[in-house]
Structure 1
């Protein structure tokens, strides 16, 4: 069983509690396959040639261990010889009435998440650090070195350097090279089972940083995953319902829509980190943090000036300087300049921009090789 004690998983199955005080779980217990409501750990079953769902599946935590892997759905339980059944759905609690109370509870929840996910071997953990508010809050909870990756002159390396200086923390920079990216493309695509441009652009910087972390002797990498989805970090959430990229007609509805994307995203990230030899630690995805995030009112997700992640930024002031708490950052594929380099490599290999999805075509060619 990944992520939680089997007894805690049994209780969650019995009670139907979707947020039972864990940081997620997936695996096999009492003749059942289970995966938590947010899909925080990957789980796969062997399909048939038609990729139909098997009644009595062979399962694995790595898709590369199976011939026809199917991702086991988050929030589901499958008893032997039965179809998967949904057991857990996210709760829909009433929002906080006062922002001050919401921020106070969020501070406590984040502290609890850090304490609950801290590995027993305290010196075996490092922190993936971009200098943004998410990774900085996580970094504040661990007495561990901070690692940032990117090309020379990249936004992430510059932001991480100023943030680490403000926090008085040790920063180790992982300088990416074109050769690093070229080598890692097929490795990452195979590890995550997705030879697509967006998936590889996001996973590849994590992979390269994690490889360095493992080389330096660390077994765990603490990450800030989940904050944008939970706390309203996306522009399309702020613009709901006008933004065509979301179906929801409210900001809180758009928040839940983004949270629903986490199983797919976390599967990608966990597989990439494991392929590099480290296990992720994600304090901001602890059940108590998720539960608190679901109670945030719309103006605590996005305020009337359009500032995103308002409540989380206010809570972050308890952990980091204001200059970091209210800092904006770029997505990792842009902040590290990996997206730019992948585009260059694709064009250099003959996959021109006029082609449909030329970077994905390049990645598929490297996997086939």
Structure 2
């Protein structure tokens, strides 16, 4: 694969006005996503490409344009996007990675001319093939999605019909946003590229497993194109793996293959390392597959995560680098983090901060790819409230909630972490979100992972595999704190907010009594407060208002995102007292 992570953007002007100037502006603010090269294609012109992000290309114009900035992990100039198919019918750009692209290419290259070794070009020719076998672009996209194994956001134009499709993978591991107004439709990998065009740009996300189809008149419709595997049918009562022995054997096979896919061709790789079993297992396996593995962490000097991560790294002979976070560095980072993740939600900011800080070290080391432990809690039953669901509603309800949490991961976690790592030009990969790992995990009886109402650990198949692979029991069975508390960040931000005159005295008592609204601010999707410790969901209102102010300073008050964050706008506007 020639380029991995990147940023994509595009504009369709409904009034036949030129888009080049705005497209260049959008790409310029996503420079971090593609420091190695940039290209735009406007109308039927050939792409204009550069090896750096100096956007001083010859001026071309038209009513539709695609733009692309790239981070090159392996390869050279022939991986530049957008690509146009052999027959000239489709033009495509892609952000992500396709893990079965070699197998697909071996079949396609018999009848298609390839100009690169890029997985993005494989998607192009696969879609070109499916389009000739289909009634329309939507049908072709559905056929394509059934074949691809990977994570992706894609923008494609059918040059015959004028249709444009914005496509996102099943779990939403790679995000794509869009906005529509009477003048034009815009889309990009990050919201800020759309907000930058001015006006009150209300941004929507392309939903996971969906395609937004834009016709040649600029009208939009959204369709589901990717279906979850049958394993994730919530009505399933018969499980393939009902003993630890068979479950561990199947899981080991799936996870090992997932890790090989995500480390192939790399001599060095980073790990987002908390010392918890999810990141420990990833690091342990990576060490067997990659020549140089470097673990990264960040937190306050005496935080539990830092102390334990250091202990674990020494015991397992892993290289660990730690960025120490102070009150001063936190205050300096907060605007940068909010700019990166495009969020003011307190929990999102607090979780992003240590990762953002750790990735600064990875960037200094010229590490381009890091592995994450995200997804293990959802597929193996690791959340603290899961045992209470078993006690009150049974195992079938537990499985329903696990599936629900997996498909909400894009909103709570994946978008934030992609933007956090890509703020430093680093690609994040998620071994636990591999298609086969997920199928295997949901073929395991949930009784093996969550043993009942008193089980405070969960993920027992996951932990037992780690133990079997040689990870000491005290590490495999450690119960880890939430990221913002384990790193010590929450308490630092609390102190900073108070020093900036944001405290409880500025918040209305009505709001302080409104538990459900506080839950919304703390975590817009989770339902866990109904089953567990409510304190886990209580965001300190004065911290939230402080972060709101920073967000407005960074992006302005008119930058909006149509989602539950609209409810957040209403809440915070209602509760702030006039000063």
TM-score, length of structure 1 as denominator length: 0.90
**Which of these residues, 120, 123, 135, is aligned with residue 265 of structure 2?**
120
> 1:47 and 1:141, CA in 2 relative to 1: closer, same or farther beyond 3 A?
farther
Asked if structure 2 preserves the Cα contact closer than 8 Å seen for 1:196 and 1:363, the reply is yes
Please state whether the residue corresponding to 1:144 is helix, strand or coil: strand
Alignment deviations for residues 57-98 of structure 1 (CA, whole Å, 9 cap, x no partner):
422111111023321111102233241101223234252242
Do structure 1's residue 201 and structure 2's residue 350 form an aligned pair? Answer: yes
- Equivalent residue number for residue 398 of structure 2: 251
Distance 1:165 1:152 in 2: 17
Question: For 1:171-320, what aligned pairs fall within 5 Å after superposition?
Answer: 171-240=320-389, 250-264=397-411, 265-304=413-452, 305-306=454-455, 307-319=457-469, 320=471
Q: Which has the higher strand share?
A: 2
Distance 1:33 1:182 in 2: 37
RMSD between superposed Cα atoms in Å: 2.5
- Equivalent residue number for residue 365 of structure 1: 549
Please state whether the residue corresponding to 1:34 is helix, strand or coil: strand
Question: For 1:1-369, what aligned pairs fall within 5 Å after superposition?
Answer: 1-3=94-96, 4=98, 5-6=119-120, 7=122, 10=127, 13-15=141-143, 20-22=148-150, 24-29=151-156, 31-48=164-181, 57-67=185-195, 68=201, 69-81=203-215, 82-93=220-231, 94=236, 95-99=239-243, 100-118=245-263, 120-123=265-268, 125-142=269-286, 143-240=292-389, 250-264=397-411, 265-304=413-452, 305-306=454-455, 307-319=457-469, 320-354=471-505, 355=507, 357-369=541-553
> 1:215 and 1:187, CA in 2 relative to 1: closer, same or farther beyond 3 A?
same
Contiguous gaps of at least 5 residues in structure 1: none
Bigger shift: residues 202-211 or 311-320: 311-320
Please state whether the residue corresponding to 2:423 is helix, strand or coil: helix
Distance 1:249 1:281 in 2: 30
Alignment deviations for residues 166-208 of structure 1 (CA, whole Å, 9 cap, x no partner):
2111111211111111111111112211111111011111111
Distance 1:238 1:29 in 2: 45
Asked if structure 1 preserves the Cα contact closer than 8 Å seen for 2:242 and 2:444, the reply is no
Asked if structure 1 preserves the Cα contact closer than 8 Å seen for 2:242 and 2:448, the reply is no
Asked if structure 2 preserves the Cα contact closer than 8 Å seen for 1:44 and 1:60, the reply is yes
Asked if structure 2 preserves the Cα contact closer than 8 Å seen for 1:41 and 1:270, the reply is yes
Asked if structure 1 preserves the Cα contact closer than 8 Å seen for 2:297 and 2:322, the reply is yes
Distance 2:327 2:259 in 1: 35
TM-score, length of structure 2 as denominator length: 0.58
Matched positions, count: 360
Contiguous gaps of at least 5 residues in structure 2: 1-93, 99-118, 131-139, 158-163, 196-200, 287-291, 512-540, 554-579
What's the offset of the Cα at 1:242? 6.1
What's the offset of the Cα at 1:248? 9.4
Tell me: higher relative CO, structure 1 or 2? Use CA pairs within 8 A at least 6 residues apart: 1
Please state whether the residue corresponding to 2:444 is helix, strand or coil: coil
What's the offset of the Cα at 1:300? 2.3
Asked if structure 2 preserves the Cα contact closer than 8 Å seen for 1:240 and 1:249, the reply is no
Distance 1:80 1:113 in 2: 35
Distance 1:146 1:308 in 2: 25
